[in-house]
Amino acid sequence: MSKVKIDINHVSKLANLNLTKEEKEKFEKQLSSVLTYISQLNEIETEGVEPIGHITGMVNVLREDEPRPSLSQEDSLLNASKKQNGFFQVDSIFEE
Amino acid sequence: MKKLKGLTIKEASKLLEAKEISAKELVADYISRAKKLNKNLNSFLTFAENEAIDQAERIDKLRRDNQKLSPLAGIPFAAKDIFSTKGIKTTAGSKVLESYIPVYDATVVGKLFEAGACIVGKTNQDAWAHGSSGENSDFRPTKNPYDTSRVPGGSSSGSAVATAADQVIFATGTDTGGSIRLPAAFCNVVGLKPTYGRVSRYGIIAMASSLDSIGHFTKTVFDNALVLNTTAGLDEMDATTSPLKIDNYTDEIRKSPSGLKVGLPKEYFEGLNKEIKQNITKALNVLERQGVIIENVSLPHTKYGVATYYIIQPSEVSSNLARYDGIRFGYDRDNFGAEAKRRIILGTYTLSSGYYDAYYLKAMKIRRLIRQDFIKAFKKVDVIITPTSASLPFKFEEKTDDPLTMYLSDIYTTNINLAGIPSLNVPCGFIDNLPTGMQIIGPDFSEKLLYRVGHSYEQESRWFERRPNL
């Protein structure tokens, strides 16, 4: 089985995780062994095999698009760490 | 005072109906034992004493008014802490949700409340259901009641232990790759992973959405069927639930399994631990005496299951855990534990640009091949029986250094989730005072058949009577 390596800096940025140097080294090593284990799947010929969608085969589950009772504004904000005037408050993302 | 310890749902329900005990007495007795044992076992993260007693009083009043009640009315139960419970803290075993209080109930929780079941509390688990031992709980590890130096299995650790240790009479769990069946096997209880889409996932914190199956733990097979009678069914809040009519799962449970064909997949028995093999063989002998016909079958893609699972599951985990940003609920992403971070990284990698086809798409094709193996086998046999675990309950910290070794704990269970089919863990005896289990696997929506086979074996073997010494 061939060794596979993750670009941990790139992937942790995509995943929005701040990892310490120790975590990066540890995960890189551990996940490399998991990915090497996974690479055994290359042995299997999957040409022409239909990938699984819904496992028991349900398709196009639709309902009428009608308004219905939902969570109140108060309930929706109940677990927010910061809120203001009935809104979620977030840190600014643009610089002035 | 009546002896209330060790009751099944069936027995407790009978006592309640005959008004020999009140729901309040029963629930109070279980709460006090649950709290006392928790100091040693860590099976609960939160107790819901007030909610349980209020519900019990309500049930007692309805009973006095001679209302017709469900067999679950007044029965003390626990929910894995991944089930949303309105007004009761729900952490998924993670520090990210350490102070999260849901504003609605999961569909299953709502159905159990409606049936009159009384919630004793929320049970400990591997954080986000990531794990096979309970050691990934961000709070503390749950202990096996049969040997507290050993793991109870995971991820639904606390629910299996609470059922085994008589802290509740039944408990809910989730099974994405074995998280109900493995702890059930390690704790000598009955655990069901239903067909995907048979029980609603709504309000249950998502792990891997194409695999998550919602089930429960009980002492006996009959009790397990009773609970499924309440939890199964179509839910318009979960579009993946099946519109197929639900069975009455207790109906025909006593019917003899005589004439049924049981398949043994050779891939699951090659190289199996001798003693575990011996227990399974004894169990099969019991079933043979009851008239089942044993046949050999083959599931050729078996060995690729864990590898396939460790693409699909972390991919879906990375997507589901992306919502935890610390803005609408919970704390920020720095609070994820090591295992959640590992799976987010792995899944983000396998879904990232240029890799999707090689990993996720390829895995979803192999998943089709694994499912086809089972479909083909079920043309020959009615059910398949395998061990639930290749090993006995292991010691704490035995597998924590190497994630791959831990992942391989689920080698006998993941393929069932990949195939979407149902499987029932039934206790099948002890080795050195440690429990073992076998799983009875069937085609889509065959839960009723699994219960019939399991019940027949259990009535003769009666392993559920061997309770832990606590």
8 Å CB contact of B338 and A11: no
Domains of chain A: total? 1
The two three-digit tokens of residue B412, written as one number: 């006998």
Q: Which of these is catalytic: B179, B409, B446, B456?
A: B179
8 Å CB contact of B103 and A54: no
Task: Give the residue numbers spanning the domain of A37.
Answer: 8-43
Summarize the confidence of residues B171-180 as an average pLDDT.
98
Q: Which residue of B has its CA nearest to A80?
A: B328
Reported as a pLDDT band with limits 50, 70 and 90, residue B266 is: very high
Summarize the confidence of residues B398-421 as an average pLDDT.
93
Q: How far apart are CA A17 and CA B338, in angstroms?
A: 11
Q: How far apart are CA B102 and CA B88, in angstroms?
A: 7
Q: Report the share of chain B in percent with pLDDT over 70.
A: 99
Is B210 a residue of the active site?
no
Which one of A9, A23, A49, A52 would you mutate to disrupt binding with B, by most B Cβ within 10 Å of its Cβ?
A: A52
pTM of the model: 0.97
pLDDT tens-digit series, residues B433-465: 999 999 999 999 999 999 999 999 999 999 999
Give pLDDT, residue B457. Answer: 98
Query: How high is the ipTM of this complex?
Result: 0.95
Q: How far apart are CA B444 and CA B195, in angstroms?
A: 6
Give pLDDT, residue A94. Answer: 85
Residue with tokens 């009959």: B222
Domain annotation covers residue B470? no
Summarize the confidence of residues B194-210 as an average pLDDT.
98
Domain annotation covers residue A34? yes
Q: How far apart are CA B150 and CA B141, in angstroms?
A: 10
Is B209 a residue of the active site?
no
Domain annotation covers residue A87? no
Q: Is the pLDDT of residue A2 over 80?
A: no
pLDDT tens-digit series, residues B11-32: 999 999 999 999 999 999 999 9
pLDDT tens-digit series, residues B111-123: 999 999 999 999 9
Please list every residue in chain A whose beta carbon sits closer than 8 Å to the beta carbon of residue B304.
40-41, 44
Q: How many CB atoms lie within 10 A of CB B94?
A: 29
Give pLDDT, residue A29. Answer: 94
Domain annotation covers residue A14? yes
Summarize the confidence of residues B245-267 as an average pLDDT.
97
8 Å CB contact of B338 and A38: no
pLDDT tens-digit series, residues B310-338: 999 999 999 999 999 999 999 999 999 99
Q: Which of these is catalytic: B70, B133, B155, B318?
A: B155
Is B155 a residue of the active site?
yes
Domain annotation covers residue B216? yes
Mean pLDDT of chain A: 92
Please tell me the distance in Å from B153's CA to the nearest CA on chain A: 21
Please tell me the distance in Å from B320's CA to the nearest CA on chain A: 12
Q: How far apart are CA B426 and CA B282, in angstroms?
A: 14
Give pLDDT, residue B4. Answer: 84
Q: How far apart are CA B180 and CA B177, in angstroms?
A: 9
Closest CB to A34: pick one of B240, B310, B364. Answer: B310
Domains of chain B: total? 1
**CATH number of the domain enclosing A31:** 1.10.20
Q: Is the pLDDT of residue A44 over 90?
A: yes
Summarize the confidence of residues A63-70 as an average pLDDT.
91
Give pLDDT, residue B91. Answer: 98
DSSP H stretches of helix in B42-80? 49-64
| A residues 36-65 lying closer than 8 A (beta carbon) to B | 37-38, 40-41, 44, 46, 49-52, 54-56, 58, 61, 63
End-to-end CA distance of chain B: 21
Task: Give the residue numbers spanning the domain of B13.
Answer: 9-465
Domain annotation covers residue A3? no
Domain annotation covers residue A54? no
pLDDT tens-digit series, residues B33-79: 999 999 999 999 999 999 999 999 999 999 999 999 999 999 999 99
**CATH number of the domain enclosing B170:** 3.90.1300.10
**Closest Cα to residue B265, out of B462, B415, B114?**
B415
Reported as a pLDDT band with limits 50, 70 and 90, residue B2 is: low
Reported as a pLDDT band with limits 50, 70 and 90, residue A92 is: confident
pLDDT tens-digit series, residues B219-241: 999 999 999 999 999 999 999 99
Summarize the confidence of residues B127-138 as an average pLDDT.
97
Please tell me the distance in Å from B326's CA to the nearest CA on chain A: 7
Domain annotation covers residue B240? yes
Domain annotation covers residue A52? no
pLDDT tens-digit series, residues A8-20: 999 999 999 999 9
Give pLDDT, residue A93. Answer: 84
Q: Which residue of A has its CA nearest to B90?
A: A79
Residue with tokens 């042995």: A43
Summarize the confidence of residues A36-46 as an average pLDDT.
95
Domain annotation covers residue A37? yes
DSSP state of B205: P
Q: Which residue of B has its CA nearest to A38?
A: B307
Q: Which residue of B has its CA nearest to A19?
A: B334
User: With DSSP H G I counted as helix, E B as strand and the rest as coil, what are the percentages for chain B, rounded to 5?
Assistant: 40, 15, 45
Q: Is the pLDDT of residue B1 over 60?
A: no
Dihedral through CA B249, CA B171, CA B305, CA B292, nearest 10? Answer: -40
Please list every residue in chain A whose beta carbon sits closer than 8 Å to the beta carbon of residue B348.
11, 14-15
Contact B217, B170 (CB under 8 A): yes
Please tell me the distance in Å from A68's CA to the nearest CA on chain B: 12
Q: How far apart are CA B158 and CA B43, in angstroms?
A: 4
Give pLDDT, residue A5. Answer: 83
Domain annotation covers residue A23? yes
Give pLDDT, residue B311. Answer: 98
